[in-house]
Amino acid sequence: MDAQPFAETQQFFVKQRAAIDRLRADNVLLKEEVMLENRFSVAPTSAAAATAILGLQEQSEVYNQKIGAERARMLDLREKLAALRARVAEQRRAMGGVNAARDGDMQACKIHSHGREAHAAGAGRERAQAEAGGLKAAADREQANAEAEWRQLTQLLEHARQQREAARNREIEARDLQTLTVLSSEVGPRRRTASPASGGARTGAAAADRLRELGAAFDAVLAATGAADVDALAATIVAGEDTNFRLLGYVGAVNAEADALEAAAADLRGEVAAAGDAAAAADAARRAVTQELEGRLSATEASASGFEGRRDSAAACTSRLRDGLAMLWQRAGCDTPAVRALLGSGGPTDASLMQFLGVLEQRTHELLQAYVAKVVAEGPGQQKRARALLAPPSAPGSGEAGAAITVDPPTTVPPPAGAASAAAGSADGSDGSGAEDDDQPLDRQALYQRVQRSLARHSPAAATPLARPKHLRSGGQGRYRSVASGGLPTTGVGADEDLAVVLVDHGSKRVEANKMLEEFAELYRQTTQRQLVEIAHMELAQPSIADAVAKCAAAGAKKVVVAPYFLSRGRHITEDIPALVASAQAEHPSLQCVVADPIGIDPLMVQLIEKRVADTLPAAT
């Protein structure tokens, strides 16, 4: 809470306490004077007493207004406190309340679980990489073994082919030799044919041995590989190469999967770190907001406690004042049947406290007048004392009492018939204004005029008028445009016959809303006795402002006053309606169009709203 309003509130309570002390002192003096006489009197009192009564009444009104303002402020603070408490509760619900720690622990467990999963994924990736490395090494070894076997087999096959070629060549040579031998045996000596035959036999035996060796080696290869023949051996070699290629593809897939697992583990670690940072930031923000709200709540609760203490103090002062008033009420003899019929027999309450104070003031004036009359009746020597009692306070240092005036105070007893008729005649003929209409509500200006007339009737010394209120000086009324005191300013039927009035509202798509303006125009026409009254809607409905102005021009009007049926001076009043009126006037150059002020703020509007509130309360209950 700001320091300035708090200082003003403290000053207000200090002044209120001082005023209550002054009232208590005045009540003590009145008690001493009341004990002297307990009879009713209608003798005149002094102007100083009347002025003091008026001042006390004004002070009591001011105190009541300030007490009401303080109560309104206290209610406002209670509403703000309730709103802050609701906001704190909402913040607590948003933070999780008592389960916030459990939620935080669960979040931390989730983060740790994600970390363990990431570590497990990393370990799996490493194991997969190790297995892939082992598979690759095994595949390399198998490929090397297969290549070595293939090379050995190729060498064996090549060696076998070479052996077969050599055997075939030897066989061909043997055949050639045999052929030559046969030919030689036919044409040469027999002794020369024996030697080639023995040489060919030896060559054939060597070739057969070599073939047997190659066959044995090939059989060993077939036995080692498990193949049945050369074709099966070749198919086995091709199948081994296919297996090697598949192993290489599997190793590549395992490497790719390991890389993907590593990337996923890195992303997961990043997400875990980001989630941890976000959770820490959110916790810090929530703690800061909670601390701020708790501080504001504590300050508001302290302020509310202070206001409650002040309210209790004011209520206690009012209670003491009410108790003192009840005691003085009985001792002063104000508890009469007429007063009970007016104020009731329940005693003073907070609502009727000012009325009881007013009756007590009247009774005090009567007792004072009775005491003065008794002093005067005691003898000629008491005249000076009576004049001193009736005279107003004199200027300091003058040594003389002011001139006494005659004031007729109100009374709590029924006046005699003669006094009643005299009072009626005074009220009817003193100011020439006739009887006041008590049913009509009064604003400040009307109340000021009535007080001036009342003072002029009762006191010749009141010829000098009281100072006018600030908002009524220089003929001004400030923001208020009141017509409560003077009625409606009508000009009659014969005046301004060429004047037309156009009532303009916003306009609505609902027909019922537009008909309300028609009903108001009819009421305005009957009340003011004006003949040229048209209606127009600014937008959304017909007739428009241009149509209404055209109808006024066709009816013979020379001047058109566009009266907005609006409450405040908004954009429609300052911009839209003047622009539409200017556009309509451009079509009728000889016609003068002006825009009136909106309804504005008026005391009659306060009475109307209060009546609506009073009418709503029974239905709401």
Cite the active site residues. Answer: 506
Tokens for 378, please give them.
Answer: 């005691």
Helix (H, G, I), strand (E, B), or coil: what is residue 272? Answer: helix
What's the token pair of residue 372? 């003065």
- Cα–Cα distance measured from residue 486 to residue 472, given in angstroms and rounded to the nearest whole number: 15
| β-strand partners of 593 | 560
CA distance linking residue 149 with residue 153, whole number of Å: 6
Residue type, 580: L
Nearest to 31 by CA among 322, 333, 384: 333
Rounded Cα–Cα distance for residues 439 and 444 (Å) = 16
358, 333, 325, 357: which is closest to 413 by C-alpha?
Answer: 333
Helix (H, G, I), strand (E, B) or coil at 397: coil
Q: Count CA atoms closer than 13 A to 368's CA, side-chain side.
A: 25
All residues at 6 or more sequence positions from 6 whose CB lies less than 8 Å from its CB, including other chains: none
SS (H, E, C) 345-375: CCCCCCCCHHHHHHHHHHHHHHHHHHHHHHH
- Residue in the structure block whose two tokens are 């409450």: 567
Within 10 angstroms of residue 45's Cβ, the number of other Cβ atoms is: 23
Closest by CA to 360, choosing from 334, 383, 337, 327, is 334
Determine contact, residues 433/442, Cβ cutoff 8 Å. Answer: no
Q: What's the residue count for the chain?
A: 621
Task: Check if the beta carbon of residue 443 is closer than 8 Å to that of residue 430.
Answer: no
The helix-helix angle for 230-331 and 100-187 (nearest 10°) equals: 170
Side-chain-side CA neighbours of residue 432 (13 Å): 0
Between CA 325 and CA 322 the distance in angstroms is 5
Q: How far is CA 179 from CA 169, 190, 196, 359, in A?
A: 15, 15, 10, 176
Question: One-letter amino acid identity for 384?
Answer: K
* Sign of the four-CA dihedral 589, 592, 597, 598: negative
User: Which residues are CB-contacts of 500 (< 8 A; sequence separation ≥ 6)?
Assistant: 532, 533, 534, 552, 555, 557, 559, 560, 561
What is the C-alpha R_g of the chain? 61
Give one word for 319, left, alpha or beta, with left for phi > 0 and alpha for psi -120 to 50.
alpha
Q: What does the alpha-carbon distance between residue 241 and residue 249 come to, in Å, rounded to a whole number? A: 13
Using DSSP's 3-state secondary structure scheme, residue 407 falls into: strand
> Are 20 and 63 a contacting pair, CB within 8 Å?
no
Q: What single-letter DSSP state applies at residue 352?
A: T
